[in-house]
Amino acid sequence: MTDIYAAGLPVLWMTEHLSVLQRRAATLRGVSQREDLAFEAVVRRIAAGPYFDGLSAGPLAPLRPASPAVVAEAEELIGRPLPSLLRRLYLEVGNGGFGPGYGLLSLRDLHQSGSTNARGGRKGHILTLCDWGCSISSQLDLADGQVWGCDPNPAPDGVPCRFPQYVTVVDWFVKWAEGTLHQPWLVQDPTTGAWRGATDAEHAEMLEDAFGPGGPAD
């Protein structure tokens, strides 16, 4: 009896362990496939029109990918690896200059909160992805992969200007590629009085009030 139990335990453990590994592999495949689709969507958006949404004073410069050395240097200074989609976009599409707002910042322009340049050598986990004008920016928290907005314009003293956007950097690029990404906008909730990021519906209402039905996006 003891010999049978002892012999069966490793088999049971291996079966359960294999099941866990299979589920984990399936999850990783799903993440990888979503990132591949996001990458392809960004490339299509770039090919279809301007590289970024902001106004340009002249012809757009060709996109030039970052070298592996520049990416490695940035990750060392930041103290964390870049999310895989963001890393691939830098390496294969361009070292900034495309995407939402006035374009993804180059790796040597990415900075931590407090306006500390990433090349300054300080470790941190907040990167500015792009500027939208008027000191508004989108920021990436590398600790959890979430994108935050920063809008210092309407908030009174004592109200944080940073707020969660509730999207990952993959979602952020997908929304931009689909034309559904709005710039961060800090608003006061009409019901609770709390300050928070505007919803898509509030953005749509604001744009319709400003430009009429069918008006411009951001």
Average pLDDT over residues 10-14: 54
What percent of the chain is predicted at pLDDT more than 90?
48
Arithmetic mean of pLDDT, 102-123: 62
Quick one: average pLDDT of 88-93?
Answer: 97
Is 214's pLDDT higher than 70? no
Per-residue pLDDT for 170 more than 90? yes
Q: What distances in angstroms separate CA 6 from CA 2, 3, 12, 129, one per listed residue?
A: 6, 5, 10, 55
Rounded to whole angstroms, the Cα distance separating 162 from 138 reads: 9
Of residues 147 and 120, more confidence is placed in: 147
DSSP alpha helix (H) spans, 179-215: 200-211
- Is the pLDDT at 110 greater than 50? The verdict is yes
Confidence of residue 30 (pLDDT cuts 50, 70, 90): low
Position 29 scores a pLDDT of 61
pLDDT recorded at residue 11: 56
In this prediction, residue 53 has a pLDDT band, given cuts at 50, 70 and 90, of confident
For 78-120, give the DSSP string: HTSPPPHHHHHHHHHT-SSS-BSTT-BPPTTT-EETTTEEGGG
pTM given for the model: 0.78
Report residue 98 as tokens.
Answer: 């495309």
Mean pLDDT of 89-112: 86
β-pairing, 162-168 with 195-197? unpaired
Q: Please tell me the predicted confidence (pLDDT) of residue 207.
A: 78
Residue 35 predicted with pLDDT over 60? yes
The mean-pLDDT minimum among 24-33, 109-118, 158-167 falls in 109-118
